[in-house]
Structure 1
Amino acid sequence: MTATTAAEKPPISLREIFSVFFWIGVFSFGGGLTGWVYREVVTKRGWMSDDEILSGIALAQVLPGANVTNLTVFVGNRLRGYSGAAIALTALISPPLVMCVLALWAYGFIQQISLLHAAVDGVAAAAVGLNIRLGIVGAVRVVRRVGPTITMLATFIAVGVLNWPLVPVVLVIAPLSIASVWPWKRNNG
């Protein structure tokens, strides 16, 4: 009898792939999922090597979209081809999708409670107040210097008053802001 080599191992079942990525999806709050995928696929199950998963992580980071979904498709594809990729991705995104739909459904019932509307209005007012305070604190720190003050006012007028799109405004104003501060940093440093 010969020892079973890696090439002779039976393929990983679609059920196993689904189970691993389903539970990652269920508990996927707050990030850190790439590390969890690594632990489940490499450390616990030995389905892939360090080199394989690191290649997948690098690829997942350069492709558009969420890194963990890209990595999930990569792992599923490496384990069982297109069907593995489809099963892994479906398993990963199904639990959060169901939770969001249930939250929306519950919200339909909860929004009819007038006390809840008052509470949400209070929370929104507090959030607006905190943002205004943060803006004031930032403005007070910026006003000490001419370049940043002009940048702040130009951004406020362009986006807040003239309703210009934020991205083009930032693409134009950011280099000007950096240029206005650059000589000060060099002379003081």
Structure 2
Amino acid sequence: MNTPAQTSAPPSLLTMFLAFSRIGITSFGGGLSGWLMREFVRQRRWISEEEFLSGLALSQAFPGINVVNLSIWIGYRLRGRNGALAAALGMVLPSMCVAIVMAVAFAQVSHSKTAHLALAGIAAAAIGLSLEMGLRAARYTLRSPVPFLIMAGTFIAIFVFQLNLVGVVLVAAPCSIAAAWIRAA
């Protein structure tokens, strides 16, 4: 595994809270994991890309909202349980307040076709961010044939055969864990 990209002391809890808050209130729709990667891997260099992708995979395996799980993981990785709390609160509280205000505002303009077109544009951008993140993760799996086969099998099972997501995860997760275990040994 690569060493962390972090070259200085971990950020303060306030710095983490503010960084996650900024991402939470300026990101709309899906694609938040792409923003998190851009911010914490490329710009701030708090963690490496490999660590981020490992955290992303872990956060997707747990129940709940993936980006909140990922925020908790990054916060814990950087500053322990207090970092996990600061990151989660930063991601959730400010964006929740903005979402409430926006819901009230949207209720006022919901009859407008322009508002619906704007939301479609935001959704398209969010899908693009999610696609970029997925392609990065796919590139990461190309380093070894077994993770690639698990990824491809999962995609085919869900997208082509439209199998139940939970069932596919219950099969793919143990295979992936076993492959990682064998590779680490």
TM-score, normalised with respect to structure 1? 0.50
1:7 to 1:107, Cα distance in 2 relative to 1, 3 A: closer
Counterpart contact for 2:6–2:46, Cα < 8 Å: no
- 1:42 matches 2:12: no
Letter aligned with residue 23 of structure 1: R
Q: How far does residue 103 in structure 1 lie from its aligned partner after superposition?
A: 4.9
Corresponding residue for residue 64 of structure 1: 63
Q: How far does residue 87 in structure 1 lie from its aligned partner after superposition?
A: 0.6
| Structure 1 vs Structure 2 CA RMSD | 3.1
Corresponding residue for residue 77 of structure 1: 76
- 1:13 matches 2:12: yes
User: For this pair of structures, how many residues does the alignment match?
Assistant: 111
Q: Deviations over 1:8-52 (max 9, x none)?
A: 832311122112101111112121110110111110011101121
CA distance in 2, matches of 1:21, 1:102: 19
CA distance in 2, matches of 1:28, 1:10: 27
Q: Please identify the structure whose Cα radius of gyration is greater.
A: 1
Q: Which runs of 4+ in 1 moved over 4 A?
A: 103-108
Q: How far does residue 102 in structure 1 lie from its aligned partner after superposition?
A: 3.4
Q: How far does residue 98 in structure 1 lie from its aligned partner after superposition?
A: 1.0
Corresponding residue for residue 90 of structure 2: 91
1:44 to 1:103, Cα distance in 2 relative to 1, 3 A: closer
Corresponding residue for residue 55 of structure 1: 54
Note the residue ranges of structure 2 that are not aligned, 5 or more in a row. Answer: 114-161, 164-185
Note the residue ranges of structure 1 that are not aligned, 5 or more in a row. Answer: 1-5, 111-115, 124-173, 176-189
Letter aligned with residue 13 of structure 2: L
1:79 to 1:91, Cα distance in 2 relative to 1, 3 A: same
CA distance in 2, matches of 1:87, 1:70: 13
1:106 to 1:14, Cα distance in 2 relative to 1, 3 A: same
Alignment of 1:119-158 (within 5 A): none
CA distance in 2, matches of 1:102, 1:44: 30
Q: Deviations over 1:30-79 (max 9, x none)?
A: 21110110111110011101121111011011111111111000000001
1:8 to 1:102, Cα distance in 2 relative to 1, 3 A: closer
Corresponding residue for residue 27 of structure 1: 26
1:11 to 1:65, Cα distance in 2 relative to 1, 3 A: same
Q: How far does residue 104 in structure 1 lie from its aligned partner after superposition?
A: 6.3
Identical-residue share of aligned pairs (%): 41
Letter aligned with residue 69 of structure 1: V
Q: Deviations over 1:145-171 (max 9, x none)?
A: xxxxxxxxxxxxxxxxxxxxxxxxxxx
CA distance in 2, matches of 1:43, 1:12: 15
CA distance in 1, matches of 2:105, 2:75: 33
